[in-house]
A and B are shown apart, each in its own frame.
Chain A
């Protein structure tokens, strides 16, 4: 699975309260959540996110376990999130909702906002122009869930 897109760069420790505040958690509707994703950083984020790749710093998605954070990012049109590291719960939520997540230490030094990059989800290879950076590809159980399209579809198959 190779994904190409334009980079939206974010900082370190982007927490799930910032991704989607608690006041929106009474809904799981992807389109509603997408309207508010990362709005305290950039109220226009959702308008720029279609087809984009997020490249972020350390422990992306830290904090609350709210799955709406992953749902909102995906519904806004972000195709993959690459980060220096991920918070454990967010990483699982992303995979469970069919949003690929690649941990790649050093990536924020190599990639700038607006760069066009390609990401190989399984090998973790990230191409920026003619340079290649090696991240941690999605593997094992996480890859099976991602290939099924998310945990709901994975469970449907498994429980049949």
Chain B
């Protein structure tokens, strides 16, 4: 009787694992981007070996400071680009593909894999049923060189999502509800296994947001149990047939269990400067806003842009509003479906897939005392720019309504 986490880690370690065990595992997929990539390569050079144990298992995508906003960023990308060429990396995505986590789920990650990324939002890949962890540059360099790493088997926690979310309520509100209930420290050392009772009511885009926010809950991993939604997502994106996927044994033991009734989840916002400082939109309706950001590896997917376009259609934004589709594929589909045109006509600035403003990098850095509503994942002091700026985290519908209203608002207030 094993949980999915135990099954994946037993297979990857070649041993019969239990929670708390310290094990060595074979890593199926390892990845880095520009801003951690140069550091990974630097560590490899210090160790004295530019060696990639399995080039086909390494994915590199430029996303943090792309296209480069300054000379130093350009130099960083030159260094990683020449590394990719020198070692003939087959899965290198230069400027033009999008955010690494989105590229990974669109093109590479399979259920049951162990995935390690030199970026904390590695947790996103858990939406496809993978055990996915972020690690630092040194750990990732070791994996690139040896194909292996060590880790502690986390304690398994069962989360059940029941029913159907109300209109405009998405994976982001579900994540914020979990942070409201459990706070940011409850899941330390835990693997959250998510069971969706009615798979079609909680589509892949929502799951990707929840898995992405798993790191904000400080979970060791957050894994959605693969179901028909997982299968159809992978098969439609990649033209592959998925064979049998691993699931937990019926009767597997979890340290605890929580059922979230999706139809009870409300419009929520994480107020400054902590992801678990969660409030209802109604409590914040007097907050005037300078800039709205719709994008990032958390909420830059097609359904996010669809929601924003539906709310903004025929209206004009009162705030500055920056929209960044998470990948080339998302951008292209949003163009074909007319979402980009609607957003541009509403006055949004739409740009190519980059992390940009989420990390205070470029394309919308927040100034002193500016108030930002962002669909990204962190509202920490200084995260999006000035330490005196204030960041509120929301889902796409609240972000779009806020851009139209000029203050924090629910979609019903502007429709």
Shortest Cβ distance from residue B52 to the other chain A in the assembled complex, whole angstroms: 14
User: Which of B134, B359, B383 meets A65, CB within 8 Å?
Assistant: B134
Contact A22-B360, Cβ < 8 Å, known A59-B218, A65-B120, A152-B46: yes
Asked if residues B136 and A89 are in contact (CB atoms below 8 Å), the reply is yes
Asked if residues A26 and B72 are in contact (CB atoms below 8 Å), the reply is yes
The interface-forming segment of A92-100, A106-114, A115-123 is A92-100
Verify if A18 is at the interface (C-beta below 8 Å from B).
yes
Residues on the A chain within 8 Å of B134, using CB = 65, 89
Residues on the B chain within 8 Å of A40, using CB = 381-382, 387
Shortest Cβ distance from residue A104 to the other chain B in the assembled complex, whole angstroms: 14
Verify if B380 is at the interface (C-beta below 8 Å from A).
yes
Asked if residues A88 and B188 are in contact (CB atoms below 8 Å), the reply is yes
Verify if A124 is at the interface (C-beta below 8 Å from B).
no
Assign chain A's interface to a size class.
Answer: 35 or more
Q: For the complex, give the distance between the alpha carbons of A140 and B378 in Å.
A: 33
Asked if residues B76 and A26 are in contact (CB atoms below 8 Å), the reply is yes
Verify if A127 is at the interface (C-beta below 8 Å from B).
no
Asked if residues B360 and A23 are in contact (CB atoms below 8 Å), the reply is yes
Contact A64-B139, Cβ < 8 Å, known A18-B380, A152-B43: no
Residues on the A chain within 8 Å of B220, using CB = 88
The interface-forming segment of B34-42, B90-98, B167-175, B336-344 is B34-42
Asked if residues B360 and A15 are in contact (CB atoms below 8 Å), the reply is no
User: Which of B142, B185, B382 meets A58, CB within 8 Å?
Assistant: B185
Assign chain B's interface to a size class.
Answer: 35 or more
Asked if residues A156 and B48 are in contact (CB atoms below 8 Å), the reply is yes
Residues on the B chain within 8 Å of A12, using CB = 185
Residues on the A chain within 8 Å of B146, using CB = 159
Contact A65-B118, Cβ < 8 Å, known A59-B218, A96-B139: yes
Asked if residues B135 and A92 are in contact (CB atoms below 8 Å), the reply is yes
Shortest Cβ distance from residue B392 to the other chain A in the assembled complex, whole angstroms: 16
Which one of A15, A70, A140, A141 has the greatest number of beta carbons of chain B within 10 Å?
A15
Verify if A28 is at the interface (C-beta below 8 Å from B).
yes
Contact A59-B381, Cβ < 8 Å, known A26-B72, A70-B136, A151-B139: no
Residues on the B chain within 8 Å of A17, using CB = 378, 380-383
Shortest Cβ distance from residue A93 to the other chain B in the assembled complex, whole angstroms: 4
Of chain B, the residue at the smallest CB distance from A68 is B39
Asked if residues B188 and A87 are in contact (CB atoms below 8 Å), the reply is yes
Asked if residues B145 and A159 are in contact (CB atoms below 8 Å), the reply is yes
Within 8 A of B (CB), among A137-160: 140-141, 150-152, 155-156, 159
Verify if B287 is at the interface (C-beta below 8 Å from A).
no
Within 8 A of B (CB), among A53-103: 58-59, 62-68, 70, 85-89, 92-93, 96-97
Verify if A135 is at the interface (C-beta below 8 Å from B).
no
User: Which of A65, A97, A150 meets B36, CB within 8 Å?
Assistant: A65
Within 8 A of A (CB), among B311-354: none
Q: For the complex, give the distance between the alpha carbons of A62 and B187 in Å.
A: 12
Verify if B181 is at the interface (C-beta below 8 Å from A).
no
Shortest Cβ distance from residue A97 to the other chain B in the assembled complex, whole angstroms: 7
Asked if residues A96 and B136 are in contact (CB atoms below 8 Å), the reply is yes
Asked if residues A140 and B22 are in contact (CB atoms below 8 Å), the reply is yes
Asked if residues B22 and A155 are in contact (CB atoms below 8 Å), the reply is no
Verify if B274 is at the interface (C-beta below 8 Å from A).
yes
Asked if residues A65 and B382 are in contact (CB atoms below 8 Å), the reply is no
Q: For the complex, give the distance between the alpha carbons of A70 and B39 in Å.
A: 14
Contact A21-B360, Cβ < 8 Å, known A59-B188, A62-B184, A141-B22: yes
User: Which of B47, B139, B218, B361 meets A159, CB within 8 Å?
Assistant: B47
Digit string of B195-230 for contact with A (CB within 8 Å is 1, else 0)? 000000000000000000001101010000000000
List 10 interface pairs A-B (beta carbons < 8 Å), by A numbering.
A17-B382, A18-B380, A22-B361, A28-B39, A40-B387, A62-B184, A63-B215, A63-B380, A85-B188, A89-B120
7 nearest A-B residue pairs (beta carbon): A67-B136, A93-B136, A22-B359, A96-B138, A17-B380, A40-B387, A65-B120
Q: Which A residues lie at the B interface, using CB under 8 A? A: 12-13, 15, 17-18, 21-23, 25-26, 28, 40, 58-59, 62-68, 70, 85-89, 92-93, 96-97, 140-141, 150-152, 155-156, 159
Given A21-B387, A64-B378, A96-B138: 20 more A-B contacts, CB < 8 Å: A22-B35, A26-B35, A26-B73, A28-B39, A40-B382, A40-B387, A58-B185, A59-B188, A62-B184, A63-B216, A64-B119, A65-B119, A65-B122, A65-B134, A65-B135, A65-B136, A67-B138, A92-B136, A152-B47, A156-B48
